[in-house]
Structure 1
Amino acid sequence: MHPLLIAFLAGVGFVVAYHTYGRWLGGKIFKLSANAVCPSRRLADGNDYVETPKSVVFGHHFASIAGTGPIVGPAVAIIWGWVPALLWVIFGSIFIGAVHDFGALVVSLRNNGQTVGDIAGRVLNRRVRVLFLCILFLALMIVLAIFGLVIASVFRMFPSAIVPCVIQIPIAVAIGAWLNRHGKSLLLPSLVALGVMYVTVIYGDVGFLHALNAAMADWSLLQWVVLLLGYSYVASVLPVWTLLQPRDYINSLQLISVLALLVLGVLAATFVGGGAEAAAAGAGFEMVAPAFNLSPAGAPAMFPFLFITIACGAISGFHCLVSSGTSSKQLKQEPDARMVGYGAMLTEGFLATLVILACGAGVGLGLTEAGGEVFTGAAAWSHHYAQWSSGLGPALGAFVGGSANFLEALGIPAAVAVALMGVFVASFAGTTLDTACRLQRYIVQELANAVVPKPAEGAGGVDWLGALRGKHGATIFAVVTAVVMAAIPPAGAEWTWANAGRGGLILWPIFGATNQLLGGLSFLVIAFYLWRRSVPVWFLIVPMILMLVLPAWAMTLNAFVGEASWWAQGNWLLVGVAVITMGLEAWMVVEAVQLFPRVKGVVEAGALDAAGNAVDPAR
């Protein structure tokens, strides 16, 4: 199938799904009402709860959930063939991922903007709440520890991306101040911000700036991790409108504009041809990746590992934290939830589709390696995907190189095209990092309240966890634990400045399965919320089962099966975490199965109505 036809059919499919299935979910299942009072108004505090236009919330939400997930996952998973990867992205986004994000957002909107983990304590029971929050804390700690490494690695591969990414911060602060002070249309300042960003991409690596980029690219990984997590601390304690929200909004504009450029690049490559390398080699524009490659060298079985390798591009448990942790605190009215929750996930699915096209067809237009050798056609794909153990670097290089070829087809110079895609990847890793830090703060605060309730006023005694209930104490705890984990050298390696910063890799192999498992547990909470209100849940059953079974299956294979398993290699830390995680999952599922038949139509204690008033469970 031609790449242009794939892009067209995928785009049409996502648009149709939004206006049909998404509309049905919003109207018939969640019954979104413009008259409902959202937490952003009822609990407005100017810091976390801030009424915000839906376009800005969409930007924040989209940039936060996108990150590098929909890029890295499809870029790696195409090793099994472009057809399985594409089918999982399209159908997973429409029927699983978007439903998950939408449901988590609505449930949180109707529970004072609380996280799904906190809500689990009421719709299921208190034990489940603590179990869920522990899983969330572990998952977010890994994200915080690893994404500093991801961003540092991108900066080392593409130093020209450093200055443009840094300049985004003052641009974001200016946009936030403009919106907060004037409350006017964001169109003009947004266009100006986008223009400035692209100017920095074009001229951000010349003269003095080139030397600055090169010097910063040589910083140690630990230096980068500490600097980036320090920035994340600042971003997460400032009012959301100051930095986090506008930076994500600007990045969403960048993402949408890059998506448009990539689509135009696909058109140009189809009708005009590729860049200079493609013309010199006579390379045509077609899918050079195999449609199916069921036994790639060194790779695990496609089923179930495809479904945890492509996470954010189809479904990701991390998204429930964004939906219920930040976005639900900013929406002005309930109907906006469909665009933010369902629409953003479909847009991410389209991004993942373009990643598949870049890695499966764009690379065929020509890639030049460091030694000067040029690969085109199927040879270019095979060079990057020779075997599974090649890892993240070649896959990421295939995406950046293939996407840059699309941009070159539009006449954009090769150096600018590579810089633009490097900024694109690093920017979205950064938005995931600062959003994850804010989310971890909420989780730490909720865990502190769940483990040791705050002493009643006037009751006396010492509040031993008082520091963790405040935003600064909780955020510092989140940052310090991530830095400590990152500073640990990889398993079996000595502590050196070269190794420090790679500690997140210790638990990274288990993150994919844990992340998808989190999606299944989030579905469990959404299902119980609806079931208690006698709302049909049949459309959640298959996605929930898939996201509970497939990750557990993959985790079991990784931990115990084969010579390369963690058990066989004596990696007891990963084995222990896997056993604990699967034990927590089994415990939660058993609790849910026992409770499910008894709670249909029984509204949980602490439930709120559309006006924010407590609902009497007896009624």
Structure 2
Amino acid sequence: METLILLAVCFVGYIIAYNTYGRFLARKIFRLDNSREVPSRKINDGIDYVPSKRGIIFGHHYTSIAGTGPIVGPAIGIIWGWLPAVLWIFLGSIFMGAVHDFGSLVISMRNEGRSVSEAAAKYINKRVRFIFFAVVFLTLLILIAVFGVVIASVFTLFPNSVIPVWFQIPIAVLLGKAVYKMGANVNISTAAAVIAMYLMIIAGSYFPIEIPSMMGIPASGVWVILLLIYAWIASTLSVTTLLQPRDYINAWQLFVALTLLIAGAVFSGFTTDFEMSAPMINQNVPETTPAIWPFMFVVIACGAVSGFHSLVASGTSPKQVEKETDSLFVGYGSMLLEGVLALLVIVCVSAGIGMALEVDGQTLTGAAAWNEQYSNYIGSQGLNSKLRPVVLGAANMMGSIGIPAAVGTTLMGVFIASFASTTLDTSVRLQRYVVGELAQDFKISWLKNRWTATSLAVLTAAGLAFANGAGGKGALVLWPLFGSANQLLAALALLVITLYLRTKGGKKFIFALIPCIFMLIITNWAMVLNEIRFAENGNILLVAIGGLVFLLALWVTIEAGIVFARRPAED
């Protein structure tokens, strides 16, 4: 019962936070005003800038920022105990992550939908523009290359997910055509698309697909190539053709999954011993586990705050929001829903795992099951180890409401693969924006169009992916840098938001400055500790790149501090 009480308190807390703190930020701090002309209407090119209903853009924004972050991060972060993880997810998402996402979205909308890098140039100075571009480009480069491998691994782990994930593409295209070209009713079209998607999940359950090696390229490399080709196509099409409708139906997939997990939790709470099997605070973590300070705040990432969100909030989403007041629902609300997903993952990997865990023909329950699963630090292990407790725990919870374990596993596999896929194609489009803006600044006309910019984004990611062999896993070499670099980007985005609010006079900036300072301290602390570890392991490449990112971020922080100390000017 304590698990249900915990979930109820957090869910009610999120509703209260949205209707109090969120609305306070919207009305008093950012002063949302529907009389302002938004980029989607001002530019409206039918490709990237398209006014969209807030429910549809919410779906796109949410599935783009989520990916596997709020799934994998909390599944690792519970190693320090469920209470620290829950507190960071709950409080962090309300006072840091949602402020970060919402602020990035509003600032971009008030600057023609341009990126956080361009906002940095405007509110700090032009020198830092290229520093921001470098950090953003590196972050997206690693993300695109790694997510190709991640999705390939998910397809290998869950071959039942291949058909449903790929068939989402024609379903999404038909949905976009029905709504935007034929004027079909959105609700009816949505229902038809979701039904079709779940029919494909059933089909995938009966027809799992595993691809073989081709021309000396292992299956993982083949998948990476296919996924990058798909991402190139998706990035060059109009957002209403594929990207937006696919993200939208994936959002409905999320709603169904959340409903099933909540129903499973409620039913289990009233019929079984459904309690948190993980310790409240874990005093006996495995030896390889890093210190809770600062690494828990980096590991959980998307469940509380993530720099990648600022790229989506200043990339695809501001070009589609049709009026300013919608940005509260899209920016602030989606981060709170991501917190809900992260909390449910915590429940899956604790109470869900505690319901039953099969080990060598024996069924373990409660603390014994959790200790067996977390006897080692899974953060340093492969994707299978990170996803296994989530999938098993979720299947147990769904099983309590009559869903067979095999079906529950398939549903979670499709869910994870779908979210990773939406993050991949959004990331390629974001990288295309980054390249295009940089080309415009340097007046390189041939690089500004969407085909050449997308080609550069995809080819650089492919180069990194295949740098160490045909398996497409080259980006994994740089992956240890991603966590701290991603959170450092969040701190820098909060820095830009702080300086933007500083131009408005008064003390409004304090609502971004406090989370900014916290994130700067935590992430720089983590980066220094990582640099020491890389040096001890003799990994010169990670030391060099990590050190460069650290120095660039320090440079931006100093420049921002100088600007902050000056008398604020009206925007």
TM-score class, shorter-chain normalisation, is: over 0.9
Question: Which residue of structure 1 aligns with residue 530 of structure 2?
Answer: 558
Paired with 2:254 and 2:544, the residues of 1 have a C-alpha distance of 39
Following the alignment from structure 1 to structure 2, what is the Cα–Cα distance between the partners of residues 335 and 306? 34
- Give the structure 2 partner of residue 600 of structure 1: 568
Q: Cα offset for 1:294?
A: 4.2
Q: Could you tell me how far 1:419 is from its partner in structure 2?
A: 0.2
Structure-2 change in CA distance of 1:415 and 1:228 (3 Å) = same
Instruction: Please tell me whether the aligned partners of residues 70 and 312 of structure 1 are also in contact (alpha carbons under 8 angstroms).
Output: yes
1:93-172 equivalences under 5 Å are: 93-172=93-172
Cα distance change on mapping 1:37 and 1:216 into 2, 3 Å? farther
- CA deviation vs aligned residue, 1:380-421 (integer Å, no higher than 9, x gap): 211221111445422310001101111111101111110000
Separation in 2, partners of 1:534, 1:137: 32
Q: Match for 1:127: what amino acid?
A: R
- Choose from 484, 495, 508 the match for 1:524: 495
Alignment-derived partner of residue 303 in structure 2: 313
Asked if residue 417 in structure 1 is aligned to residue 399 in structure 2, the reply is: no
Query: Contact between 1:294 and 1:302, CA under 8 Å: does it hold in 2?
Result: no
1:486 to 465, 469, 479: 465
Q: Which residue of 1 aligns with 2:346?
A: 356
Q: Per-residue CA shift, 1:398-454, capped at 9, x if unaligned?
A: 00110111111110111111000000111000010000000000111122233x2x2
C-alpha distance in 2 between matches for 1:183 and 1:598: 53
Change in Cα spacing, 1:217 to 1:197, as seen in structure 2 (3 Å) is farther
CA radius of gyration, larger in: 1
CA contact (8 A) 1:531 1:599 kept: no
Give the counterpart letter for 2:227 in structure 1. Answer: L
Residues 265, 49 of structure 1: alpha-carbon distance in 2 compared, 3 angstrom cutoff = same
The match for 1:65 is 65
Contact 1:385 1:394 in 2 (8 A): no
Q: Aligned to 1:511, which of 482, 489, 506?
A: 482
Alignment deviations for residues 10-48 of structure 1 (CA, whole Å, 9 cap, x no partner): 100000000000000000011111211111011010000
C-alpha contact 1:295 1:301 (8 A) present in aligned 2: no
Residue equivalent to 1:334: 324
CA offset digits 1:298-337 (Å, max 9, x no partner): 1010000000001111000000111110110001100000
Deviation of 1:296 after TM superposition, in Å, equals 1.3
Structure 2 residue 254 is matched with structure 1 residue 286: no
Matches within 5 A, 1:191-202: 191-202=191-202
Superposed CA deviations along residues 171-227 of structure 1, whole A, max 9, x for unmatched, are 100111011113453111111111122222223232xx23xx134699621111111
In 2, distance between residues paired with 1:429 and 1:163? Answer: 15
Q: Which amino acid aligns with 1:300?
A: P
Distance 2:294 2:74 in 1: 15
Aligned pairs for 1:580-619 within 5 A: 580-603=548-571
* Partner AA of 1:350 in structure 2: V
Cα gap change, 1:183 to 1:525, in 2 (>3 Å): farther
Bigger shift: residues 292-301 or 49-58 = 292-301
Q: 1:575 aligns with which of 522, 540, 543?
A: 543
Alpha-carbon separation, structure 1, partners of 2:408 and 2:459: 37
Alignment partner, residue 452 of structure 2: 473
Deviation per residue, 1:337-380 (Å, 9 max, x gap): 000000000000000000000001100111335x6553322222
C-alpha distance in structure 2 between counterparts of 1:507 and 1:360, whole Å:
30
Superposed, 1:223-234 pairs within 5 Å as 223-234=222-233
Contact (CA 8 Å) 1:384, 1:395: kept in 2 or not?
A: no
Structure 2 spans left out of the alignment, 5+ residues: none
Question: 1: CA distance between counterparts of 2:567 and 2:477?
Answer: 41
Residue 521 of structure 2, aligned match among 518, 525, 549: 549
1:227 aligned partner, one-letter code: L
TM-score, length of structure 1 as denominator length: 0.89
Q: Does residue 1:27 correspond to 2:16, yes or no?
A: no
Give the distance between the partners of 1:31 and 1:594, measured in 2 at CA. Answer: 26
TM-score by length of 2: 0.96
Residues 455-495 of structure 1 deviation map (CA, whole Å, 9 limit, x = unaligned): xxxxxxxxxx4332111111101101111111123xxxxx4
User: Is this contact kept in 2: 1:39–1:329, CA < 8 A?
Assistant: yes
Residue identity matched to 2:357: L
Name the one with the larger helix percent. 2
CA offsets, 1:65-90, max 9 Å, x none? 11100000000110111111000000
**Cα distance in 2 for residues equivalent to 1:367 and 1:203:** 28
CA distance in 1, matches of 2:420, 2:150: 7
1:569 Cα shift? Answer: 1.4
Q: Could you tell me whether the CA contact under 8 Å between 1:155 and 1:217 is conserved in 2? A: no
Overall identity of the aligned pairs, in %: 48
Q: How far does residue 539 in structure 1 lie from its aligned partner after superposition?
A: 1.3
Confirm or deny: 8 A CA contact 1:140 1:440 kept in the other structure: yes
Q: Look up the equivalent residue of 2:515 and give its one-letter code.
A: P
- Aligned equivalent of 2:437: 446
Residues 498-529 of structure 1 show CA distances to partners (whole Å, capped at 9, x for unaligned) of: xx211111111110000000011001111111
Q: What is the aligned partner in structure 2 of residue 458 from structure 1?
A: none
- Asked whether the equivalents of residues 356 and 364 of structure 2 are also in contact (C-alpha less than 8 Å), the reply is yes
Question: Aligned equivalents of 1:410 and 1:205: distance in 2?
Answer: 19
**Cα distance in structure 2, aligned partners of 1:146 and 1:190:** 31
Deviation at 1:295, TM superposition (A): 4.7
**1:373/1:394 CA distance change after superposition, 3 Å:** farther
State how many pairs are aligned: 564
Alpha-carbon separation, structure 1, partners of 2:486 and 2:211:
35
Tell me by how many angstroms 1:150 deviates. 0.9
Residues 466, 375 of structure 1: alpha-carbon distance in 2 compared, 3 angstrom cutoff:
farther
